[in-house]
Copies of this chain bind each other. A is one copy, B any other.
Amino acid sequence: MSLATLDSTQHPNLPAASQTLFHAKARQRLSFEKIAQHIGRNEVATAAIFYGQAKASAEDIHKLADLLMIDYSQLEMQLNGFPDRGKSVEMPPKEPLIYRLYEIVQNYGYAYKAILNEKFGDGIMSAISFSTSVEKETDAEGNNWAVITLRGKWLPFSRF
């Protein structure tokens, strides 16, 4: 089985922690599933930490350092600030897998808005008070299906 890796010449603007973490992950030959189990977080959140898109708690850093055999103080120094999000994906995405998600927004954006507005009123689904997960399903004919769930708090526009 192949593992997700990071080629830093392709991602020159990711934080220093990304290289540290991916390097150790490759060395330890660990999947995100394993790492997520170890730190007790969702796989997507775990990968997001690796890409500098989610904050690791002090405890997360300890567990990551342990599992991945990274010097704790180096990892702590690289991860203890606040994530500077949004620098990993260039938009519109050129990567085919990520483009498909972008295309879903492009095609169904107003349909989602219409349905959400009629169900909840005037507001948005938060992308901050938010969680997401990925599941694998296999149907009767042996086809695999990816299921991504997005769950965000509904925030009504304030009246002022």
Taking the closest CB of chain B, its distance from the CB of A37, in whole angstroms, is 13
Pairwise interchain contact B127-A107, C-beta atoms closer than 8 A:
yes
Interface of A is mostly: mixed
Contact with B along A108-136 (1 / 0, CB 8 A): 11111111111111111111111111101
Quickly give the copy total for this chain: 10
Q: What chain B residues lie within 8 Å of A103 (beta carbons)? A: 86, 96, 99, 127
Interface magnitude class on chain A: 35 or more
A108 to B47, CA, bound (A): 9
A residues whose Cβ falls under 8 Å from a Cβ of B: 1-7, 9-17, 26, 31-33, 41-45, 47-48, 50-55, 57, 77-78, 80-89, 91-134, 136-137, 143-160
For this complex, 28 residue pairs linking A to B, each with C-beta atoms less than 8 Å apart, are A2-B121, A4-B82, A5-B81, A7-B78, A10-B15, A10-B52, A43-B115, A47-B112, A53-B110, A85-B96, A88-B110, A89-B109, A91-B102, A96-B127, A96-B128, A100-B125, A102-B102, A107-B127, A115-B134, A119-B136, A125-B146, A129-B156, A145-B151, A145-B153, A145-B154, A147-B151, A149-B150, A150-B150
